[in-house]
Amino acid sequence: MRILCLLISAFLTCAQFAAAKSPNIILIMADDIGYECFGCYGSEQYKTPNIDRMASQGLRFQHCYSQPLCTPSRVKIMTGISNVRNYAAFSILRRDQKTFGHYLKEAGYQTVIGGKWQLFGAENYAERFRGKGSLPEQMGFDRHCLWQVKELGDRFWNPKLTIDGKTNQFAKDDYGPDHVNQYLLDFMENHAGDDAPMLIYYPMILVHNPFLPTPDSVSRSEKDKQKNFEDMVAYMDKMVGRVVDKTQQLGIAENTLILFTGDNGTNKLITSRLGDRDIRGGKGNTSDSGTREPLIAWWPGTTPAGVVTDQLVDFSDFLPTMLQVAGAQTPSQIDGISFAPLLKGSDAKTRQWMHCFYHPRPEKGEAVQFVRNQEWKLYQDGRFFHVSNDVDEKKPLDKAAAPGQYAALRKALDSFPSKGQMLLKFD
């Protein structure tokens, strides 16, 4: 009996130790910004020193791909499932879905979300969509500070934010991104010393239009959209820097994984210079300008510093990656593949191709579906591109140009349903 008790005690001690050592996880996702807007990806136009510092101290991915628009990307990243299986409509996250909030809460994490929600079907949408989606507390989050839950309102100056279930109208000189950022910093301050690790999901309000001056802009009356966008990018970077700095101030940086990405391409009103190319924002497009995103992983003492990887990452991969990092079991019925080994310096290939099903407004139009790898891309309608040489997809090729690539991508595409399984289904 004594030996059994000692074994039980040892097991509990190990389990408690493992739980105490589970890292905090912070997922930051900027709104409407592609890879071309960051210094660490080669931009000299935008000021992103904090994100660039994360890249120099961590791992930078060259091939991370989102959905082309916000709701599809949010549904995919939160559930780890392709939109072809679970996307219902714009502004909707079905209530029967399970998110990384649920899984990590079950694994003992304290969960918080701050930023943009837009997954309930707020008052500003057509009646058939209102209230058909999910509330943050239904999706695994203990606390929240969010724009556009049940109501719309402004997101930047004079913001309307829902904080832990109560909608608050702030003053005209209050700036929404500041309130959200401070809410998350306060959460970190209050819970950094707890036994339970933290999951902080930060789907930022910045840098979505309207393109307005920020608190750091020279003039609050500036009307130039490009100039204001550049200021908004700088302010977004400042907000990210405050989160990174807070982990260091609290002494939790080495036990905290921070992932930074964006939800889709830059607004089409914006043009960015990258090297010798002018890149028009591609939000809503299925090309690189609409889907290629920055991805930085920063975890001092764990992620290799200053490394750039060509490994392929799909938005469905974030959920299994976070669960593996947390030591939690990964569900079998997802499409994502964990890239957690890469965070610890492995160069093992994690995925061969990524899949996109895009039908953001299923009440109208037709779906677009494709699979791709780092070089080649195949659409469901048969269009085939060598995207590494034809990034704007101007020159479709015959499959004879690369029959092996075509066959592999066709097989991958055929492994998914040809039509959306949940389109316009809310119950």
243-262 per-residue burial string, b: 16 or more CB within 10 A, e: under 16: bbebbeebebbebbbbbbbb
Residue 40 lies in a domain: yes
pLDDT bracket for residue 14 (50, 70, 90)? very low
Q: How far is CA 360 from CA 261, 327, 365, 420, in A?
A: 20, 34, 9, 11
pLDDT bracket for residue 350 (50, 70, 90)? confident
How many domains does the chain contain in total?
1
Nearest Cα neighbor of 358 from 347, 348, 369, 349 is 369
Contact 249, 191 (CB under 8 A): no
Contact 65, 356 (CB under 8 A): yes
Residue 13 lies in a domain: no
> Over 70: is that where the pLDDT of 374 sits?
yes
Beta bridge partner(s), residue 167: 162
271-296 average pLDDT score = 97
> Over 50: is that where the pLDDT of 344 sits?
yes
Taking the C-alpha atoms of residue 352 and residue 285, their distance in angstroms, rounded to an integer, is 23
pLDDT bracket for residue 16 (50, 70, 90)? very low
220-245 confidence digits (pLDDT tens): 999 999 999 999 999 999 999 999 99
Contact 40, 50 (CB under 8 A): no
132-144 confidence digits (pLDDT tens): 999 999 999 999 9
Residue 34 lies in a domain: yes
> Over 90: is that where the pLDDT of 297 sits?
yes
126-175 confidence digits (pLDDT tens): 999 999 999 999 999 999 999 999 999 999 999 999 999 999 999 999 99
Residue 265 lies in a domain: yes
Kindly state the tokens that stand for 299.
Answer: 């975890």
pLDDT bracket for residue 427 (50, 70, 90)? confident
Chain mean pLDDT for the chain? 94
> 15 CB contacts (<8 Å, ≥6 apart)?
none
Q: CA 422, 136, 175: angle at the middle one, nearest 5? A: 120
65-96 confidence digits (pLDDT tens): 999 999 999 999 999 999 999 999 999 999 99
Range(s) of the domain holding residue 214: 22-356
Give the CA-trace dihedral at 205, 294, 352, 286, to 10 degrees. Answer: 60
Report pLDDT for 8: 39
Q: What is the CATH number of the domain that holds 341?
A: 3.40.720.10
DSSP 263-293: SSPPPTT-EEEETTEEEE--TT-SSHHHHEE
Q: How far is CA 355 from CA 264, 360, 380, 386, 421, in A?
A: 15, 15, 11, 16, 15
Q: How far is CA 93 from CA 77, 111, 300, 375, in A?
A: 12, 18, 34, 32
Q: What is the pTM of this model?
A: 0.94
> Over 60: is that where the pLDDT of 201 sits?
yes
Report pLDDT for 224: 98
Residue 8 lies in a domain: no
Residue 243 lies in a domain: yes
Residue 262 lies in a domain: yes
> Over 60: is that where the pLDDT of 12 sits?
no
19-48 average pLDDT score = 93
pLDDT bracket for residue 21 (50, 70, 90)? low
Residue 220 lies in a domain: yes
Beta bridge partner(s), residue 361: none
To the nearest 10 degrees (0 to 180), the angle between helices 318-326 and 70-79 is 30
Beta pairing class for 110-116 and 143-147 = parallel
Taking the C-alpha atoms of residue 413 and residue 426, their distance in angstroms, rounded to an integer, is 26
pLDDT bracket for residue 4 (50, 70, 90)? very low
Taking the C-alpha atoms of residue 34 and residue 295, their distance in angstroms, rounded to an integer, is 10
